[in-house]
Structure 1
Amino acid sequence: MAARSRSVLVLTNVSDVTADAVLRVLAERRVPVVRLDPGADLHTDASLTATYCVGGQRGTLRTSSRELDLTDVQSVWVRRPSAYKGPSDLAGQDRRFAAAQAFWGTGGVLSSLPGAHYVNHPWNNRAAEYKPAQLAAAQRCGFHVPHTLITNDEHEAREFTAHHAAGAVYKPLWNTPYSVDGQAQAVWVREVRSPEITEAVTACPHLFQAKVPKAFDVRVTAVRDRLFATRIDSPDLDWRHRQDRMHCTPIDIPAPVAESVARYLTIFRLTFGAFDFAVTADATWYFLECNPNGQWAWQPTGITNGIALAIADQLERGHHE
């Protein structure tokens, strides 16, 4: 009897064009794929059922075009699914209740598929998104880490920024949605001086960091032991601010940095990670952060294609990779 073909489950929103690069590779290889945005699709034309009993766990995902036995899922790619917000025809506490039940119920089912290989597991993603945990892990892994302060004490913040004659920067600890007069605003990394700091700092923790005298930035995209590095030359402190002004070229990764990347992925149990570095004129690579689910399709075509192939390999082979 022929073995059943095992499927790849891709969890992402309908507008995620980055996912398309990997899905094209999987289609060329004739790998069965089911794409689902659980935060949205389960309110429209999809359903999810899971059963836990003596003898094991089973479940079924039904969409408008597919019916998937959850025991047949070989790999799960957790890309960019929508947040669980609850059905749009509910309001107030009813919608909040439904959203919470979906987060813990649907999210729990999809995070616990027996035998599935996750890229990355959502719980590992969440653990790796805490910037204080990133900095602590980076130090243990041997990365150069800029002197950093996290505080809600305005006096500590002023003293820290005044101490660094070369300058200090402020970074948000999380990309929390923020708007002014109804217009969405991005909070970029920005230089900050001691006189600017007020008692407003006491409202919440703030991250201040010694400014690295960088010559350029580097993005290292890691897919397990396959590393892809892009040098970024930008006129801005935060190259994300005006990406149309940055210039990207491939760059080699020093062996000690590659070894530290491997140790970092192991600590957080990640298959994928997007590492950002600031590189000084003397070729010192300073760790800035690692996004466990960062965007990568904006890089030069050769690097983007390489990353797509590496992710497709992980999903196709599952735990055999």
Structure 2
Amino acid sequence: MTATYRTGDQRGTLHTPSRELDLTEVCSVWTRRPSPFQGPSELDEQDRRFAGSQSLWGFGGILASLPGAHYVNHPWDNRPAEYKPAQLAAAQRSGFWVPSTLIMNDPDKARQFAAHRTGGVVYKPLWNTPYKVDGQAQQVWVREVRAHEITAAVANCPHLFQAKVEKAFDVRLTAVGNRLFAVRIDSPDLDWRRRQSLMECTPIVVPARAARSVSAYLTISRLAFGVFDFAVTAAGDWYFLECNPNGQWAWQPDSITDSIAHAVADRLQKGPETGRGCRRG
């Protein structure tokens, strides 16, 4: 990769094994969980770490600052949008129903929080950190906890405890700009991700209030794309759980998956909902 900058001009070229790309011709970028930059394997650990860091700030910086390109989503907007506290703050500002949530590293406060929530409390990790037991990868699922189960180990790092929503079902909503695609998820588990073979997914209409809040959330978080999770009560209240700016959607029913894929392609080809196409020259 090569990039040049001078007064009134910016140019660049990306060479790959299959083609050469003029970076000034790039009008849309789909960012999908890129792997970290790694230095050449033949280097020692320190030099490899240095090369990887320079690649992030050099090549990563070039790809994230293409002139006039439309990003779905911009990598510099994706990262802050992945923080759970930032998601909860944006959800509040957007008008979503938000379950009472406590993030802290004080065992006593955690026990008090759990003891005063008659409907129950759940724990969820703030980040999906890789974890192994006897060499086997483990997943920390969302689970219900009681006050007496909270130990002094909570003091080691921040924990997220949240009032349990008495839900009738879950909803996974994928937003591509102002186009929303939602499925109702019926599962016997508190965390439907745990045994996906047992869940049932059916398309569902998004209520006007939730749609307005989704639009506000994307604007606040500077996102063109987001995957939202909701817990829906029997009364029809959609409680915000999280929004993953790089969430998965291809596991949903074919009709929904096809619609999302076309919406993403349209967004990349046509740009934002401004009537301006993706054109150069």
- Bin the TM-score by the shorter chain: over 0.9
SS of match in other structure, 2:271: helix
Instruction: Tell whether 2:160 aligns with 1:160.
Output: no
Amino acid at match of 1:234: S
Aligned pairs for 1:43-58 (under 5 A) are: 48-58=1-11
- How far the C-alpha of 1:274 sits from its partner, in A, is 0.2
- How far the C-alpha of 1:182 sits from its partner, in A, is 1.8
Unaligned segments of structure 1, at least 5 residues:
1-47
| Aligned-partner Cα distance in 1 for 2:37–2:134 | 25
Instruction: Tell whether 2:262 aligns with 1:313.
Output: no
Amino acid at match of 1:237: L
SS of match in other structure, 1:304: helix
RMSD in angstroms over aligned alpha carbons? Answer: 1.0
Instruction: Tell whether 2:204 aligns with 1:247.
Output: no
- How far the C-alpha of 1:237 sits from its partner, in A, is 0.7
Instruction: Tell whether 2:130 aligns with 1:177.
Output: yes
Amino acid at match of 1:300: P
Aligned pairs for 1:273-288 (under 5 A) are: 273-288=226-241
| Aligned-partner Cα distance in 2 for 1:102–1:181 | 34
Shift >3 Å, 4+ stretches: none
Amino acid at match of 1:135: L
Instruction: Tell whether 2:225 aligns with 1:293.
Output: no
Amino acid at match of 1:217: D
Instruction: Tell whether 2:60 aligns with 1:130.
Output: no
Instruction: Tell whether 2:54 aligns with 1:107.
Output: no
Amino acid at match of 2:55: A
- How far the C-alpha of 1:85 sits from its partner, in A, is 2.6
Cα deviation digits, residues 278-316 of structure 1 (max 9, x gap): 001111110000001100001111110000000000111
Unaligned segments of structure 2, at least 5 residues:
none
The aligned length equals 274
| Aligned-partner Cα distance in 1 for 2:213–2:152 | 38
User: Which one of 210, 213, 237 corresponds to residue 257 of structure 1?
Assistant: 210
TM-score by length of 1: 0.83
- How far the C-alpha of 1:80 sits from its partner, in A, is 2.3
Instruction: Tell whether 2:8 aligns with 1:63.
Output: no
| Aligned-partner Cα distance in 1 for 2:244–2:39 | 27
User: Which one of 142, 147, 165 corresponds to residue 189 of structure 1?
Assistant: 142
Q: Which residue of 1 aligns with 2:164?
A: 211
| Aligned-partner Cα distance in 1 for 2:262–2:229 | 21
Question: Could you tell me the percent identity over the aligned residues?
Answer: 72
- How far the C-alpha of 1:121 sits from its partner, in A, is 0.2
